[in-house]
Amino acid sequence: MITTPHINAEKDAFGKTVLMPGDPLRSKFIAENYLENAKLVNNIRGIQGYTGTYKGTKISVMASGMGMPTIGIYSYELFNFFNVENIMRIGSTGSIQEKVKVRDIVIGMGACTNSNYASQYQLTGTFAPIASYPLMREAIAQAEKADASYHVGNILSSDTFYSDNKTENESWKKMGVLCIEMEAAALYMNAARCGKNALAILTVSDSLVTGEETTAEERQNSFTQMMEIALNTAVAVD
Ligand code: HPA
């Protein structure tokens, strides 16, 4: 048994790939609806982690919570202490481009950020957090296969959901950034530092351009498509 401050599980309790939704109930949903023989392997702070099989491949799903500090903690511990090679965040995002519509899928090729997370590496310039190319290439292939409406590009991982700066979205929009979420940049940096692989696959839950929002049912349906892309990607890269 390995006990880190936030995960209490056997060293081999997790699959090579961990899917990481923000919400612990999503983690439970995936385990109950997609994984065979799913077992709860972590529940510290209600951060439910399950391991089971999907199409014969051992896969885990564990929640990250919201924000860069929390995904930073869980991805660090999974990469460093539990033999996890790939972490795929599956979450929601707000669009800041007209062409990125609610219910679309966004595959985060790069993750800009307004957070100070990279300062710990003491680099003499700006680090560019990017997705794992093999994971991204496979996820794009799976999105094509699923005939999904998807975009691939730069996203923004923000430290604030409620920002006092009302014009910042416009500045990121001008740089071609597709959408805003709150976790990918830290995940990509941890993967880079650990020599492991990460990807964020997102569904657009709301548009910060038009104000349009998805209903709970629509969110569930687009979440299902994203989840299947992530699961099939995990099987293909195992
Ligand atoms: N900002 C940050 N994260 C989000 C948003 C948003 O507008 N929508 C969904 N996740």
Residues carrying an active site annotation: 206
Indicate whether this model's pTM tops 0.95.
yes
Render pLDDT for 81-102 as a digit per residue (tens, 0 to 9).
999 999 999 999 999 999 999 9
| C-alpha of residue 203 to centroid of ligand 1, in Å | 10
Fold exhibited by the domain 2-237 = Rossmann fold (3.40.50)
Position 220 confidence tier, pLDDT thresholds 50, 70, 90 = confident
Query: Which residues have C-beta within 8 Å of that of residue 201, sequence separation ≥ 6?
Result: 88, 89, 90, 105, 106, 107, 108, 139, 226, 229, 230
Domain boundaries, the chain: 2-237
- Say whether pLDDT at 221 is over 90: no
pLDDT tens per residue across span 3-29: 999 998 889 999 999 999 999 999 999
Q: Give, using CA atoms, the residue closest to atom 7 of ligand 1.
A: 94
pLDDT for residue 27: 93
Least confident of 5-9, 55-59, 62-66, 187-191: 5-9
